Amino acid sequence: MIKEKDIEELIEKLEAHHNIDKEELVTLLALEDPSMIYQAADRVRKKYVGDEVHLRGLIEFSNYCSNTCFYCGLRGPNRTIKRYRMEPEEILQCVKYGASVGLKTIVLQSGEDKYFKIITLCKIIEEIKKLDIAVTLSIGELSTKDYAELKKAGADRYLLRIETTNKELYQKLHPGMSYENRVRCLMDLRELGYEVGTGSLVGLPGQTLEMLAQDLIFFKKIDADMLGIGPFIPCENTPLEREKGGNVEIVLKMLALSRLILPDINIPATTALAVKDKAGYIKGLKCGANVIMPNIGIDEYKKLYKLYPGKVPDNPSEAVNNLENIKKLILSQNRTIGKDKGYRKKILN
Ligand code: SF4
């Protein structure tokens, strides 16, 4: 059994040098009392990215999806949900609202919906950029050419979670998709100059601590600029509806270790974490997170973006990712609200 002194040394080394091997990561992920990891991550967060929490205004503009990811309520074959697409004018109306309340980044998210032509998306991006707002896209796998056009139109960042770097598990949960293409997309985005966000879904059936450690090694290897890590929450009318959900403690360990290996990146306390655990945002902010993504979409659509249950209550002002609630929460934690676009300020090479 590994001694407490060895754990202390391992965390000290990680805090100072931000390097660790897979076996050591597994040891830390398995720790019964992870408080030392959390405290180290909090110190590193403060040292490298400060007390600011950046708000990224999320607009979920279409819940159509042609994919069939086993864990997701928006998967194409789920006929039980009502589908919607926002008009470009509606999207811009939400962006203007976001700008009026001081948001500096908008995240445009959708299922993989081929209805929106790249030229339409480019026009929307160009309009948003006129407001001096950073644009993050989270619209799935596209061709290199499409990514290039969206970048040319002004997109700054792209979120594409790998979900798991275990190829076998990835293939099992994503019928019709390919792990190689997922990685190709991330490499393209990096090459094209996007700030690249990826991340893991924690608690997938069959996922092990070794696989999660491998995810962290992958994030370090590709030098991810953003990492979104959340618990798997089983969703009704999906193949995984009866599975057990992800464990909050493991998510927090993953967040903290992400901060320790990539000290200067942007790490959200995810909505899924806050849905799974009422104190999820606060716990995330204390374990290395420096970003939250309030939903600034239109209420009638928010209810229909059912990635997993519990995300949107009947009264959207009670939603965990309601902007006003999030602002209060950040200030209650003696953290400040970021005023700039919150790009990664790369400190380490
Ligand atoms: S996870 Fe994304 S790509 Fe997969 S089914 Fe859901 S919306 Fe579609």
The per-residue pLDDT for range 100-138, each reduced to its tens digit, is 999 999 999 999 999 999 999 999 999 999 999 999 999
Return the residue whose CA atom lies nearest to atom 5 of ligand 1. Answer: 75
Nearest to 261 by CA among 10, 11, 14: 14
Cα–ligand 1 centroid distance for 76 (angstroms): 8
What pLDDT digit, counting tens, does each position of 232-282 carry?
A: 999 999 999 999 999 999 999 999 999 999 999 999 999 999 999 999 999
Decide whether any atom of ligand 1 lies within 6 Å of the 72 Cβ: yes
Per DSSP, what are the bridge partners of residue 110? 62
Provide the CA 334 distance to its chain's centre, in angstroms.
23
Could you tell me how many residues make up the chain?
Answer: 349
From 61, 112, 115, 138, the mutation candidate for ligand 1 (largest count of ligand atoms within 8 A of CB) is 112
Given strand 291-292, what is the order of strands in its sheet? 291-292, 52-55, 336-337
DSSP assignments along 181-206, one per residue: HHHHHHHHHHHTT-EEEE-BEET-TT
In this prediction, residue 341 has a pLDDT band, given cuts at 50, 70 and 90, of: very high
Which secondary-structure segment (H or E) carries 22? Answer: helix 22-29
Backbone angles phi, psi at 53, to 5 degrees: -115, 120
Decide whether any atom of ligand 1 lies within 6 Å of the 49 Cβ: no
Provide the CA 217 distance to its chain's centre, in angstroms.
17
In this prediction, residue 349 has a pLDDT band, given cuts at 50, 70 and 90, of: low
The structural domains of the chain, with segments of one domain joined by +, span: 4-336
Rounded distance, CA 345 to CA 336, Å? 17
Tokens of 151: 């970048």
Which atom of ligand 1 approaches the CA of 66 most closely?
8
Rounded to two decimals, the pTM is 0.96
Residue written as token pair 């950046």: 54
Cα–ligand 1 centroid distance for 64 (angstroms): 9
Cα–ligand 1 centroid distance for 334 (angstroms): 35
Domain 4-336 has CATH 2.40.30.30: no
DSSP assignments along 119-157, one per residue: HHHHHHHHHHHTTT-EEEEE-----HHHHHHHHHTT--E
Contact between 114 and 65 under an 8 Å Cβ cutoff? The reply is no
Tokens of 34: 């992870």
